[in-house]
Amino acid sequence: MDTARFNVGDTLPSKTLAVTQALINDYADICGDYNTLHVDVEGMKNHPLFGGTIAHGTINVEPVLQAICTVQGTRWPSAGTKIDLQFRAPVKPGMTISSVLVVKEKKADSLVCDMTIQDQNGSPCVKGTVEIK
């Protein structure tokens, strides 16, 4: 990756994902995680904390993975790429989430970015840092 094309303060290209119950169900089929929180639409409808199903955490991170791959020109993040994150709010079907990566440090072979995954209203769902090799 050519870090010369980026400067501290630059915002990297954003990626967006529309989250649907079908996407959540498909992901459950792939990974085998059929936790009620994710797939029991009727049972979770009146949940006091979530009020419906929520996406698997790895679905929430997908826009950042896509953004990293766009910058690296790869189909999967390169070896040595690091993501340190903290989940801040649940992601529910019907939400559209987007990545926001802002360069905070340039190294010879990587970019260190502040990372936010936000919903369609700009509220953060995930926060953290990313080091893109």
What single DSSP character describes residue 11? B
Bridge partner list, 116: 100, 127
- pLDDT string in tens for the chain (133-residue length): 667 789 999 999 999 999 999 999 999 999 999 999 999 999 999 999 999 999 999 999 999 999 999 999 999 999 999 999 999 999 999 999 999 999 999 998 999 999 999 999 999 999 999 999 9
The position carrying tokens 């649940």 is 90
pTM: 0.92
Helices (H), 40-130: 41-44, 57-72
Helices (H), 1-133: 21-31, 36-39, 41-44, 57-72
Domain boundaries, the chain: 3-19+54-132
**Range 3-19+54-132 classified under CATH 3.40.1190.20:** no
Q: Which two tokens stand for residue 104?
A: 């905070």
